[in-house]
Chain A
């Protein structure tokens, strides 16, 4: 059984750096067309893709946020980490990690972790 679980602070201050961790189980790393993505959803708004890392290390970022984002993987710890710099109240959202598998979309999702940006 495959599981994904997001973790991180529920509250960060403006201008701080947010670090989120997606801890997973049941995934194998032998498919380079597979990886994990971060997607966020502000309250009452649509889903917004942030970043994606494939198991071979290939990384992709949202063009509007790429200067603030960094994604990395630690296969020994079964984790993918997202950092977002210079947080702003508009970044308040629920942050999800999801598996991407080739052309099959985001087929598995974690429950999400809410993040509020406020002083």
Chain B
């Protein structure tokens, strides 16, 4: 069981907007630690999409955005494209565990 909770799967049609949630607790997201989001295609390495909850690396399209409030965070993908079909992970730091922690991952299907 992951410290950060994500829905196992989400789906959307091309052009639509999807939201992936990440729920933590007072010792990670609620303690003020940032959340980071990664995209992973089958057989590949993860790629950083959003860091420190809101910031997008320069090579990531602005269709991807992140937000955080209290013990929860969200990744929003606008204008869904077939190439977005992948698994998405949230990640943060947990002060009770003194560990970097990941969510269980959310598989995005583009219908």
Contact = CB atoms under 8 A, between A and B. Distances in A.
B48 A105 contact: yes
Contacts of B48: 104-108
A18 to B, nearest CB: 19
Nearest to B34: A103
B99 A62 contact: yes
Range of interface residues on A (Cβ < 8 Å): 20 to 34
A6 to B, nearest CB: 10
Nearest to A48: B102
Given A46-B2, A63-B98, A107 B57 contact: yes
Nearest to A62: B99
A84 B100 CA distance: 18
Nearest to A101: B51
B37 to A, nearest CB: 8
A103 B100 CA distance: 11
Contacts of B64: none
Contact of A63 (B38, B51, B52, B99): B99
Given A105-B91, A109-B46, A49 B57 contact: no
Range of interface residues on B (Cβ < 8 Å): 20 to 34
Nearest to A47: B102
Contacts of A63: 97-99
Contacts of B91: 47, 105-106
Contacts of B47: 109
Nearest to B53: A103
A62 B47 CA distance: 22
19 contacts: A46-B104, A47-B102, A49-B100, A49-B101, A49-B102, A60-B99, A63-B97, A96-B46, A98-B46, A100-B100, A103-B51, A105-B91, A106-B38, A106-B46, A108-B48, A109-B46, A110-B45, A111-B44, A112-B45
Interface of A: 37, 46-49, 52, 60, 62-63, 96, 98, 100, 103-112
